[in-house]
Structure 1
Amino acid sequence: MQRVRVIDLETGGNGSAEVCEIGWQDVVQDADGSWRLDEERGALFVNPGRPISPDTMAIHHILDEQVKDAPFWKAVAPDVLRPDGGVLALAAHRATFEQRYCTPVLSGGASWICTWKCALRLWPRLERFSNQMLRYQRRPEGLVHELGLPAHRALPDAYVTAHHLRDMLNETSLEQLLAWSREPGLLPRVPSGPDRGKAWKTLDRDALERLARERDLDVRFSAETELHLRGDRPDAKPLAQAPPTLFQL
């Protein structure tokens, strides 16, 4: 079975957060090449090895007494990240967070799809790109509202993300999603500062050069991409293919 496993983690806070819950939802490919959500989904509590901070409890509502007898992360992770039959890739929304904990040793070196980065590429006209905002802006077909609740718990969040991933895989190739996920996020608009909300194509070269020196990697990459598209950075490394309308907002 060809499948991508969507992962979502909840952590305990307190500075050096440790995982306290993992959830997963599989997206599988049918014989006709289309993708759909599978019945394979689940969640497990994980002992984070330290108390969960009140600030973090206020987000996901997982209590210390719920996880104190659960197994530790290194005992839980391999079976979830490397299921029988394997996976084509793992996926998460803003996958760099999950990758901090799902290391190559635990995941078997699996490739990752970041649905946040891919949403920026495929649906640039949307207003915002958080997992839950995508849910309500897009209203993915077949998403059972109650199964996606409560938000900020591992299984409901993985279930919601899987609907975005299914639609992405039915719109473009797995290889393209993986390629976009390896690059920084290509933001459709300037996210902050005096040019906030403006499309990159509307900025003059001085503004783009300034933004190309920002500390934020996604901002730098997005500004450099627009400069490259204008021919102002002819020596820049060729970029992964992007939809031709991306900067025509």
Structure 2
Amino acid sequence: MPKARVRVIDLETAGNGATDVCEIGWQDVVFDEDGRWTVNEERGACLVNPGRPIAAETMAIHHILDEQVADAPFWKDVAPSILRPDGGVAALAAHRAAFEQRYCTPRLSGGAPWICTWKCALRVWPDLTRFSNQMLRYQRRPEGLVHELGLPAHRAMPDAYVTAHHLRDLLNTASIEQLLQWTTEPGLLPRVPSGPDRGKSWDRLGTDALRDYLRDRDADIRFSAQSELARRGENGEANADKPAQGSFL
């Protein structure tokens, strides 16, 4: 298998600007000679100078200080070598990959496809109660995950290391092509996430309720309701892919 490596990426940021990365971490998952995907020893992290002060709101999450990144390289200088390692990658991956993709643009990544472990976990482990990176860690207890290497949480390398164990198990359950396909679609939520139907699986809802959810502003909710209607052989509204009103955000 060519390029039998998926590189998991995790970013910590200074804020929400286009170049606000202050740390990147990575962990490789490789296809071994036994025909299984495994987490190998190729991992690391690099501090990045975001070019501006780190916001207190994000500093409170990752605890990276301005003085620690003052002499670090800028994002455009450090990203390509990490996102495009020698030998290439079959894909890049992240938990809720849309966040990392905001910063790891095709120009920096070489156009590599992405796997979102959050979207794929919804499909493969729908019976779990929550799907954050750390909740998956403690609900699933992935084999071989060294507890100390996954700490502290909310730092780039430990989080990438934890995500890589979810990715390994996903790749050993479904094909890489399937994971890539799921990533291109909205999240298929196993249960209604909020409101009066919170916690109910979609198959417990009546058709009218499902059609109401087709007008939700959340794309994952609309997609999940539409998928249940399709499973029943029913069509949704023609404009089901559009929310009833625009976002105020």
If the length of structure 2 is used for normalisation, what is the TM-score?
A: 0.92
Give the partner amino acid of 2:111.
G
2:59 maps to 1:85: no
Give the counterpart letter for 1:181 in structure 2: T
Q: Is the 8 A contact 2:18 2:103 kept in 1?
A: no
The answer for the alignment partner of 1:247 in structure 2 is none
**Residue aligning to 2:247:** none
The 8 Å contact of residues 27 and 42 in structure 2, kept in 1 or not, is answered as: yes
Distance in 2 between residues matched to 1:120 and 1:231, nearest whole Å:
22
- What residue is the counterpart of 1:138 in the other structure? 140
- Is 1:104 the equivalent of 2:106? yes
Deviation at 1:15, TM superposition (A): 6.5
Q: Give me the whole-angstrom Cα distance separating, in 1, the residues matched to 2:56 and 2:182.
A: 36
Cα pair 2:7 2:89 within 8 Å, conserved: yes
Secondary structure of the 1:187 match is coil
CA distance in structure 2 between the partners assigned to 1:15 and 1:90 by the alignment: 22
Asked if structure 2 preserves the Cα contact closer than 8 Å seen for 1:14 and 1:52, the reply is no
What corresponds to 2:207 in structure 1? Answer: 205
Q: Which amino acid aligns with 2:15?
A: G
Shift of 1:31: 1.9
Distance 1:234 1:220 in 2: 10
Matches for 1:133-172 after TM superposition, within 5 Å: 133-172=135-174
Letter in structure 2 aligned against 1:160: V
* Structure 2 unmatched ranges of 5 or more: 239-249
Shift, 1:32, TM fit: 2.4
Q: Per the alignment, do residues 224 and 168 of structure 1 end up closer, same or farther by CA in structure 2, a change over 3 Å counting?
A: same
Give the 3 Å change call, closer, same or farther, for CA 134–178 of structure 1 in structure 2: same
Deviations 1:74-114 (A, max 9, x none): 00100000000000000000000000000001000000000
Runs of at least 4 residues of structure 1 off by over 6 A?
A: 14-17
Q: Is the 8 A contact 1:19 1:47 kept in 2?
A: yes
Deviation (angstroms), 1:54: 1.5
Does structure 1 conserve the Cα–Cα contact (< 8 Å) formed by 2:19 and 2:75? no
* Contact residue 27 and residue 37 of structure 1 kept, 8 A: yes
The match for 1:37 is 39
Alpha-carbon contact 1:13-1:56 (below 8 Å) kept: yes
Using the TM superposition, name which of 16-25 and 191-200 deviates more: 16-25
For structure 1, list consecutive stretches of 5 or more residues without a partner in the other structure. Answer: 237-249
- The Cα of 1:17 is off from its aligned counterpart by 6.9
Percent same amino acid among aligned pairs? 76
Which amino acid in 1 is paired with 2:100?
A: E
The 10-residue stretch of structure 1 (226-235 or 173-182) with the greater mean CA deviation from structure 2: 226-235
AA paired with 2:116? Answer: C
Letter in 1 for 2:231: L
Match of 1:224 in 2: 226
Displacement after TM superposition at 1:38 (Å): 1.1
TM-score (norm 1): 0.92
Q: 2:242 is matched with which residue? A: none
Once superposed, what is the RMSD of the aligned Cα atoms?
1.5
- Contact 1:14–1:53 under 8 Å retained in 2: no
Matches within 5 A, 1:47-62: 47-62=49-64
- SS of the equivalent of 2:163 reads helix
Matching residue of 1:245? none
